Amino acid sequence: MTKNPSKLKGAQILLECLHREKVKVIFGYPGGSVLDVYNALYESNLQHILVRHEQAAVHAADGYARVTGDVGVCLVTSGPGATNTVTGLATAYMDSIPIVVFTGQVPTMLIGNDAFQEADIVGISRPCTKHNYLVKSVAELPRIIKEAFYIARSGRPGPVLVDLPKDIIGAEIDFEYPEKIDMRSYKPTYKGNRRQIVRAVEEITKAKKPVIYAGGGVVLSNASHELGLFARQFQIPVTTTLMGMGCYPGTDQLSLGMLGMHGTYRANMAVSSCDLLIAVGARFDDRVTGDLNTFAAGATVIHIDIDPTSISKNIKVSIPIVGDCREILKDMIEVAGEKKIKKNDRKAWFYTIADWRNKHSIEYQMDAVIKPQYVIEKLYELTSGKAIITTEVGQNQMWAAQYYIFDEPRKFLTSGGLGTMGYGFPAAIGAQVAHPKATVIDIAGDGSIQMNIQELATAVQYGLPVKIAILNNMCLGMVRQWQQLFYKKRYSHSTFQRHPDFVKLAEAYGAVGLRAEKPGEVESVIKKALAVKDRPVIMDFVVDPEECVYPMVPAGAPISNMILL
């Protein structure tokens, strides 16, 4: 326990705890129940970003967490303030992102009374948080905050919500911050079982056609370096999931690109015909596996994951190893010792893969109109592949994943699990707050950008030079694509009759608005946008409305069953 306790109000305790947890910035929106906290913030040097909608506060904290690896923090008021965080919480929960959300609550006496701006947010958020708390006395506040941060960042990370009744944040106690955490019911496993690791290494040295299938867990556990060493030592090709993008260098020879519904032909074929599949920090999501019965059907499966519930949930695993990806990969390298596979030993396997690579599945035809893929290729080229990319959800997300190649982790921010439209822009704001000098680009669709467009005001207020590239096809592209392919071209409510003029809209907010209508204008628009350093930019690319994302595996089909262009 710390010495010299002093009397503090709940609100001050909250800020003091945030300071102890090394929180530098919070994203929030004030309201009645949290006025005491905002009053304390008035004289605090904690940076507070005032968003324009609470959902955006959570996505921004999530974006901040994804690029930094630190816990993102939000502060909102009770009732609607709290309920507006739900989509953000669910997004972070599905993608295992460490955030802590503080919500105001009506005074303890009024809870259950249908008081003004009362909502049972602990009840509402239970299934979409890793854990949550209703603080019932100011004395337990420091311990709860400490636990909240610990739970958010440890084990399989995730969002934690702390509900703060108004009387609790107004009450005073002697402040002591617990130095230790002791939770008898929560002890994540980090070290992998040695015997399983030895078995896995044996299988790897025997395998003729191995593939590594790396997911978001590699990013979360900062295991990219170890994954690289491991893949090269055993000469194993690597495919990444949408969430794992960048955890293995996309431009590396061993990289197969993304797998799954819109993955590369070579990745899907390699996984379908491999004899050993090493899943690292991935969860066999249905968008990855397609038909479960044919997924890696002939392969021995090694599954490394910190969450035991992910193991054997969808696919029967031969060698499960529960623990932290980084620790386990390190141990595997250590166990392997001098054992090594030379490139030559994998000649036949690499030859087959090279053949699949020649299929050029990630491809499009140039035209007189702008092709959305071309825009992303140009973004990649003009940023030298170094930008932080966020996406919305749908075609824009898949094209971003296919055409922007990532060599580093924590550069690609996307709502992989929940598929939240409106995620990309606020996440980009969070990323830009974390890295003010970085180039941050939200690759958006004309539909999803309008789900959190109000945050332009936030970005303008704080001078955040986030770039928004709208691939404007005047429709909900992915919905339209499915209607074209699977619903006999009955385009039910997927095309927009009217849009705002995005250039004028940007200008109205005090941002920069640019538009490209022909392929020849794309490059100059991007260059102009990249030169802006003090405010957000909207680039409105008028693209081919008919364009579809290919290759594509129909939902539930075997992933080798690809519709190519």
Residue 204 contacts residue 171 (beta carbons within 8 Å): no
Residue 563 CA to residue 395 CA, distance in Å, equals 16
Lay out the sheet containing 319-322: strands in order across: 255-258, 238-240, 210-214, 276-280, 300-305, 319-322
Backbone angle region of 304, left / alpha / beta, with phi > 0 → left and psi within -120 to 50 → alpha: beta
Q: Say how many residues touch other proteins, by CB under 8 A.
A: 18
- For this structure, is 149 an active site residue? no
Query: For residues 62 and 305, which CB has a smaller minimum distance to other proteins in the complex?
Result: 305
Query: For residues 30 and 281, which CB has a smaller minimum distance to other proteins in the complex?
Result: 281
- For this structure, is 54 an active site residue? yes
Instruction: Please select the residue that binds other proteins; options are 3, 7, 184, 493, rule is CB under 8 A.
Output: 184
Location of structure tokens 């035809």? 365
DSSP 448: G
Cβ 320 to other proteins shortest distance, Å: 11
Cβ 126 to other proteins shortest distance, Å: 5
DSSP letter for each residue of 122-189: HHHHGGGSSEEEE---GGGHHHHHHHHHHHHHSSS--EEEEEEEHHHHH-EEEE---S----TT----
Query: For residues 308 and 500, which CB has a smaller minimum distance to other proteins in the complex?
Result: 308
Closest CA to 222 of 309, 110, 327: 327
Catalytic position from the list 12, 16, 21, 54: 54
Query: For residues 152 and 542, which CB has a smaller minimum distance to other proteins in the complex?
Result: 152
- State how far Cα 351 lies from the chain centre: 34
- For this structure, is 117 an active site residue? yes
Q: Which 67-126 residues touch other proteins, going by CB under 8 A? A: 122-123, 126
| Range in contact with other proteins (rule: CB under 8 A) among 179-187, 331-339, 399-407, 453-461 | 179-187
Q: First vs last Cα of the chain: how many Å apart?
A: 64
Catalytic position from the list 245, 451, 478, 552: 478
Residue 268 contacts residue 260 (beta carbons within 8 Å): yes
Catalytic position from the list 47, 116, 172, 504: 116
Q: Which 118-157 residues touch other proteins, going by CB under 8 A? A: 122-123, 126-127, 130-131, 134, 151
Cβ 159 to other proteins shortest distance, Å: 13
Secondary structure of 499-510 in HEC code, one letter for each residue: CCCHHHHHHHHC
Kindly write out the interface string for residues 309-348 of this chain, putting x where it contacts other proteins by CB under 8 A and - elsewhere.
x-xxx-----------------------------------
Query: For residues 83 and 240, which CB has a smaller minimum distance to other proteins in the complex?
Result: 83
Which amino acid, 501? D
* 307 scored as a contact of other proteins (CB under 8 A): yes
Residue 23 CA to residue 386 CA, distance in Å, equals 26
Query: For residues 127 and 520, which CB has a smaller minimum distance to other proteins in the complex?
Result: 127
Which are the catalytic amino acids?
54, 116-117, 166, 478
Which spans of this chain sit near other proteins (rule: CB under 8 A)? 122-123, 126-127, 130-131, 134, 151, 183-186, 307-309, 311-313
